[in-house]
Structure 1
Amino acid sequence: MEGRPDLKIGLNAEEFRKYYYLKKELVSFCKDNGLSTSGGKLEITDRIYNYLDSGIKRNHQSHLKTKTFVPDNLDLTTKIEDNIKCSEFHRAFFKKHLGETFSFNVVFQKWLKENSGRTYAEACEAYKRIKEEKKVTKTKIDRQFEYNTYIRDFFENNKGKTLQEAIQCWKYKKGLSGHNKYEKDDLIVLE
């Protein structure tokens, strides 16, 4: 079995896409080759792919920082601002109205960003609904968190197996060409 190729200049872009690399490996490659290291793992992966494919350095497009808007006298009737930032100020507000266990989660943050103009009272109701839905539905893990998805799928299909076994299968899988989704055949590494 051929192993995962080293991430270095000369690696074919298509070959690069077939394998899993840690974010720290991607950042290291960017630093060594004068590419921007900013952005999430998917953005950095795309930047490296384009560089390996074309030789052109396309760096992160910086966005001008916008001042965080915090409404005066924020209350339940206040409208959610455009481009809301989930700040400590907002966290304190939601803890006051939803309890000390409040925490921003990805689904709620997305709801806030997609619902500017609605009230903070509606946001509180949405948070409660999201928390209830989370109890009965499987949370979608974003694409860049392949490890988390793999481990969850491993345990769903292998009751009684250990985390160490799941990690051993993950390490085997990420070294293979292709996708990094759990498959029953990955258990071969445990034999």
Structure 2
Amino acid sequence: MSERPDLNKNLDSKTFKSYYYLKEELVNFLRKEGLQTSGSKLELTDRISHYLDTGEKKESKTAIKKSHLNKKITLNSIIEENFVCSEHHRKFFKEQIGSSFSFNVLFQKWLKSNSGKTYHEAVEAYYKILEDKKKGKTKIDKQFEYNTYIRDFFNDNKGKTLEDAIKCWKYKKSLKGHNKYEESDLDILTKR
């Protein structure tokens, strides 16, 4: 087993991408190097890879446009390009949907890929997403590697505990390569 290297500017991007790092570790590295720390884990990974390869400080693809922050949102308003989940938007959706509203990942994706549609359509999409979630297993996005691993672990190991799953996950993320569950990960449970 090769030991996971510390995240530092002397790594090359290939080595960096071969290991699992927590989002907190990515943010700390970016902050230390004077790079932008906002964005999803995938965006942060991309920004760090670019920096390690080129030394260039790549900015986030999404920038909040201040003109949208003060505009009154109505059901007939059009969803703007480069949508950003702001407190202004959260307030609107809570007024329309209720206090249980949250920007879940699927809804955020819908908003970001449906600029030009109305906020009325967004509210309808939110309810449809909730309904679809109730009907069955939803797809876990790529950046949620831990959640995917734990789900796959339990699909393959009905009698195991969460403690077992976490022990296997910690072992797996210390290895070079992918972080997908494999039956061979169970070997760590028999090692003392």
- Specify the TM-score bucket, using the shorter chain as the normaliser: 0.7 to 0.9
For structure 2, the residue ranges without an aligned partner over 5 or more in a row are none
Would the aligned equivalents of 1:9 and 1:52 in 2 still touch at CA under 8 Å?
A: yes
Would the aligned equivalents of 2:79 and 2:119 in 1 still touch at CA under 8 Å?
A: no
Secondary structure (helix, strand or coil) at the match of 1:5 reads: coil
Shift of 1:132: 0.8
Aligned to 1:158: 157
Would the aligned equivalents of 1:30 and 1:37 in 2 still touch at CA under 8 Å?
A: yes
Equivalent positions of 1:2-151 (< 5 A) are 2-32=2-32, 34-39=33-38, 40-53=40-53, 56-61=54-59, 65-67=64-66, 68-69=68-69, 71-72=71-72, 74=74, 76=75, 78-83=76-81, 84-151=83-150
Question: Residue type matched to 1:44 in 2?
Answer: L
CA distance in 2, matches of 1:163, 1:70: 46
For structure 1, the residue ranges without an aligned partner over 5 or more in a row are none
Shift of 1:12: 4.4
Would the aligned equivalents of 2:111 and 2:122 in 1 still touch at CA under 8 Å?
A: yes
CA distance in 2, matches of 1:107, 1:26: 24
Aligned length: 186
Question: Residue type matched to 2:177 in 1?
Answer: G
Question: Residue type matched to 1:16 in 2?
Answer: F
Identity %: 56
Structure 1 pair 15–137 and aligned structure 2 pair: CA distance change class (3 A): same
Deviates more, 1:132-141 or 1:91-100: 91-100
Structure showing greater relative contact order (alpha-carbon pairs closer than 8 Å, 6 or more residues apart) = 2
Structure 1 pair 97–171 and aligned structure 2 pair: CA distance change class (3 A): same
Would the aligned equivalents of 1:151 and 1:170 in 2 still touch at CA under 8 Å?
A: yes
Normalized against structure 1, the TM-score is what? 0.78
CA distance in 2, matches of 1:10, 1:99: 49
Measured on the aligned residues, the alpha-carbon RMSD in Å equals 2.8
Flag as ranges the 4+ runs of structure 1 deviating above 6 A: none
Shift of 1:37: 4.4
Would the aligned equivalents of 1:147 and 1:170 in 2 still touch at CA under 8 Å?
A: yes
1:173 pairs with 2:143: no
CA distance in 2, matches of 1:31, 1:89: 27
Structure number with greater Rg is: 1
Normalized against structure 2, the TM-score is what? 0.78
Would the aligned equivalents of 2:4 and 2:176 in 1 still touch at CA under 8 Å?
A: yes
